[in-house]
Amino acid sequence: HRVRLKAGERHSIHSGFIQHDDLIGRPEGIVVTTQMGARLLAVRPTFAEQVTGRRRQTQPIYPKDLGAILVGADIYPGARVLEAGTGTGALTLAALRAVGEQGAVVSYEVREEFLEAAKRGITETAGSIPPNLTLKLGDVYLGIEERDFDRVLLDLAEPWQAAPAVKGALRPGGIVFAHCPNVSQVQRFFDCLREVKGFGMLEAFEVLQRGWTVRGRSMRPSHRMVAHTGFLCFARRLAEDDLFEPEGEGFR
């Protein structure tokens, strides 16, 4: 149960209720008991729980992919990051955590209702809109105003359409990432990067997550797993209009 605590209120579940005042000011990790005897563990939600547990209008990027994106795109403290497709704000928040207070994130969203929903979600999670986050209503297919970004993150229906604009906005040596649901989109995105030139080290992979059940000496893989949710595509911006693709397979 995810609950925002407020003085004087209570939270009801099928096995009773708890008073918010019994939790406010107390440390994480305590166990509280409802009036019906049900025991509940009280902890703050993790980032993964926050971004997946709220209502959303768009398809989110899942936590298993977020970590791989941050590492694959090498998003570091102090980086300037452009995001196209704010969506639920999950990737936006993940990028903000990675760049820190010295970095900055500029996020474009083409649909106003999605942008407003993202603002609400970000405010709910972070408490307010961070000062180093700029949310813009705009279409990156038509162009990107800013220049010299260290990283570009694309979560768009047709990321290949943004390739020319990304080329102008990303500094040499910078990394562009695109989230592609299927193989044909991966192919088309990479084809467009090759066409506009100036990109190298084109690579794609997917992340499959399978949990394990551990009870005493009994261990077995979970019956269900989070398999394919999308292809994670990366490329580096070259200093000149050339194309560089290393031989062989693998990610870096």
Tens digit of pLDDT for each residue in 1-42?
Answer: 788 888 998 888 888 888 898 899 999 899 988 888 889 898
User: How confident is residue 52, by pLDDT bands cut at 50, 70 and 90?
Assistant: confident
In a domain? residue 2: no
- Indicate if 74 and 174 belong to the same structural domain: yes
State how far the Cα of 231 lies from the Cα of 234, in Å rounded to an integer: 10
- Indicate if 33 and 158 belong to the same structural domain: no
In a domain? residue 126: yes
Q: Which residues make Cβ contacts (< 8 Å) with residue 196, sequence separation at least 6?
A: 163, 164, 167
58 pLDDT more than 90: no
Structurally, the chain folds into a number of domains equal to 2
Are 157 and 135 in contact, with CB atoms under 8 Å apart?
no
Q: What pLDDT is attached to residue 251? A: 41
- Indicate if 174 and 72 belong to the same structural domain: yes
Domain that holds residue 111: 47-244
